Structure 1
Amino acid sequence: MTDTTTLLPVPPRDLLAGASLFLDFDGTLVELQDRPDLVHPDADLIRLLARVGHALDGRLAIVTGRASERIVEMFGGIPFVISGSHGVEFRYPGGRTSGPDLPPGLPQVIDRMRTFAAGHEGVLVETKPYGAGLHYRMAPRVEAEAQALAKDLAVAHGLTVQPGKMMVELRAAAGDKGAAIERLMGEAPFAGSRPVFLGDDVTDEDGFRAVAGLGGAGILIGAERDTAARYRLDGVEAVRTWLSRAVEAYL
């Protein structure tokens, strides 16, 4: 990561002029919850993203660790691109999808994770098309055990360990959020614009580095830390306020 030696400024209101916008989901657009299935976008967020996508002529994508199909379920027919499973899979307006072959050892990994969760109260297993995650936000005492299990399973099945906030995930080895943004920036309608990416987690650092390399800017959501982002916003509410004002400035 790039060392942060000074406080990161708030992004300017005109940052989206001529830009493509890439958004993480959990911790950026919605607050983190103990259970990932409890997260649902509210009507204000749905309307806001519709406005943003319209203002940017479709240059809007959600780049998330969640499965793309879950984002579709939550947002319905809003016409933005989704890169799910940490940049492994893609879903485009109109229904076209793209992704690698499924990891062959994933069913065994999920079985081991479920066995672990059954023996530790408060631990949840989240299954995805290209991976699975162990959430221990309600059982922080098992963090070391969960991390060790994930590392063992990754070696045994050729998967990538993806750390997160109070969770650990195993996923297909191909791709990350930075690679996803780079790919989309080579496609219409994103090509030829300047990328801006908002994210809160260490999993978003690949995205921050990618947009910086493409002449764009990353926006860290949350507390100051070492990061490749150029700007910072305090949290989810600050994100929504800035997006609303940025769209007004853009229009």
Structure 2
Amino acid sequence: MKITRPGRPPAPSLNWAYFLDVDGTLINIADTPEAVLVDQTLLDLIENLHRASGGAMALVSGRMIADLQSRIKLPQLPLAGLHGLERRDSSGRLWIHAAPPATKSAIKEALAPVLARHPGLLLEDKGLTLALHYRLAPRLAGYVHRFMGRFANAPEQGLELQRGKYVVEIKPAGIDKGTAVAEYLAEAPFKDRRPVFIGDDLNDEHGFAEVNKLDGISIKVGKGVSCARFRLPDVAAVHHWLGEALKGTA
């Protein structure tokens, strides 16, 4: 990866295809996943951009689709959840990439004594993945990464480690935000449009890399090393930039 160059991306176009991360990109990160706030202004922005772009807009998140839907409440909006393991296309069809339930149960059993010893850790069962949050216990970062890495280092399990901001997630290998973007771009209304991916975290690098291959617009939110080609400083700047695409459409 390389450090992105400073400065804003080019002015947005309604002819592009938009793929947007959620936490840290459209909404500010909170101490726990349940504590985030989605206000009406953001809901209006998402709905208006989806409509004005002809439906070529999808949220691509680490959250479950059910979680996203409960907060966004736009049943027609394409959603990719769990870093692409589940994906709802523009026609409403749901696509799933799942890990064996027995494997997930074994990992939860191994984590039980760890959680008992360290109450600052939070295990989030997302159905298809398991995410261990350490935002409330940042001193345990190294321990969490090593412990969760044991499961990803067993090739026969077909699992991999997904690292984020104060979270480590175990998920099926080979599926990520980049593969979700590629799947959308093979379908209407995204097909043959210039792709845009906006994200803030390590797990968004797959999305950046995918749109870079297609001469798309990759935008890193905030600081840090990234392969994204452009940068915006924070969530408010993302809202403002996306809003520019809607000028004159009201």
Q: Same fold (TM over 0.5)?
A: yes
The aligned length equals 247
1:100 maps to 97
The secondary structure found in structure 2 opposite 1:232 is strand
Per-residue deviation, 1:249: 6.1
Per-residue deviation, 1:215: 2.0
Residue 85 (structure 2) pairs with residue 84 (structure 1): no
Counterpart of 1:46 (choices 28, 43, 48) is 43
Report matched runs for 1:190-229 at 5 Å: 190-223=190-223, 225-229=224-228
Q: Which amino acid aligns with 1:52?
A: L
Distance 1:190 1:93 in 2: 9
The secondary structure found in structure 2 opposite 1:18 is coil
Q: Which amino acid aligns with 2:65?
A: S
Q: Deviations over 1:94-120 (max 9, x none)?
A: 642111233330122123334322211
Per-residue deviation, 1:93: 4.9
Q: Which amino acid aligns with 2:246?
A: V
Over aligned residue pairs, what C-alpha RMSD do you find? 1.8
Q: Deviations over 1:130-160 (max 9, x none)?
A: 1111100110111111111101122344311
2:241 maps to 242
Q: Which amino acid aligns with 2:227?
A: A
List, as ranges, runs of 4+ consecutive aligned residues in structure 1 with deviation greater than 4 Å. none
Per-residue deviation, 1:202: 1.3
Q: Which amino acid aligns with 1:168?
A: V
Per-residue deviation, 1:29: 0.5
Distance 1:163 1:90 in 2: 20
Per-residue deviation, 1:188: 0.9
**1:101 and 1:35, CA in 2 relative to 1: closer, same or farther beyond 3 A?**
closer
The secondary structure found in structure 2 opposite 1:51 is helix
2:152 maps to 154
1:32 maps to 29
Residue 115 (structure 2) pairs with residue 117 (structure 1): yes
Distance 1:17 1:48 in 2: 13
Distance 2:35 2:111 in 1: 20
User: 1:16 touches 1:196 (CA, 8 Å); kept in 2?
Assistant: no
The secondary structure found in structure 2 opposite 1:248 is coil
1:185 maps to 185
- Please, which moves more after superposition, 120-129 or 183-192? 120-129
Unpaired segments ≥5 residues, structure 2: none
Distance 2:59 2:233 in 1: 20
Distance 1:8 1:24 in 2: 20
Distance 2:166 2:173 in 1: 21
User: 2:16 touches 2:53 (CA, 8 Å); kept in 1?
Assistant: yes
Distance 1:193 1:239 in 2: 20
TM-score, normalised via structure 2 length: 0.92
The secondary structure found in structure 1 opposite 2:55 is coil
Distance 1:57 1:226 in 2: 33
The secondary structure found in structure 1 opposite 2:114 is helix
Distance 2:16 2:90 in 1: 19
Q: Which amino acid aligns with 1:171?
A: K
Distance 1:101 1:198 in 2: 26
